[in-house]
């Protein structure tokens, strides 16, 4: 019998790499009155990432995601085994996290836009 984790891995288009990278994100819009949300990228793949942020965004929202800090990386790592430093991404889902999780109140699955 497959575990729940194994079933989720079958659904994924690419393997996820764990990380703990400080990010900031905001909606991709033409006006300047937009709130920026700080957060942490928890994992990533070549197709998207999972982030936890202080802001809540609806599914379908296009975000500009910018990496603030990333731990030093071994130079022999391939480019696709590192997270994107800045990108546009679509919110695929957003869930409220359990209370008491510092400033990060929402978990979101993001799909990178090319």
Alpha carbon distance 38, 61 (integer Å): 16
Q: pLDDT of 88-102, one tens digit each? A: 999 999 999 976 656
Question: Does residue 1 register a pLDDT over 90?
Answer: no
Alpha carbon distance 90, 106 (integer Å): 15
DSSP at 106: E
pTM of the model: 0.77
CATH 2.40.10.220 assigned to domain 16-112? The reply is yes
On whether the CB atoms of residues 63 and 46 are closer than 8 A, the answer is: no
Q: pLDDT of 9-61, one tens digit each? A: 456 667 888 888 999 999 998 877 778 999 999 999 989 999 999 999 999 99
């Amino acid at each position: 019998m497959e575990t729940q984790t194994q079933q989720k891995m079958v659904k994924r288009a690419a393997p996820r790499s764990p990380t703990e990278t400080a990010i900031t994100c905001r909606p991709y819009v033409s006006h300047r009155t937009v709130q920026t949300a700080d957060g942490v990228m928890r994992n990533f793949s070549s197709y998207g990432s999972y982030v936890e942020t202080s802001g809540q965004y609806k599914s379908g929202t296009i975000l500009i995601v910018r990496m603030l800090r990333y731990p030093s990386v071994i130079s022999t790592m391939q480019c696709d085994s590192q997270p994107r430093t800045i990108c546009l991404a679509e919110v695929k889902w957003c869930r409220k996290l359990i209370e008491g999780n510092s400033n990060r109140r929402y978990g979101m699955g993001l799909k990178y836009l090319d």
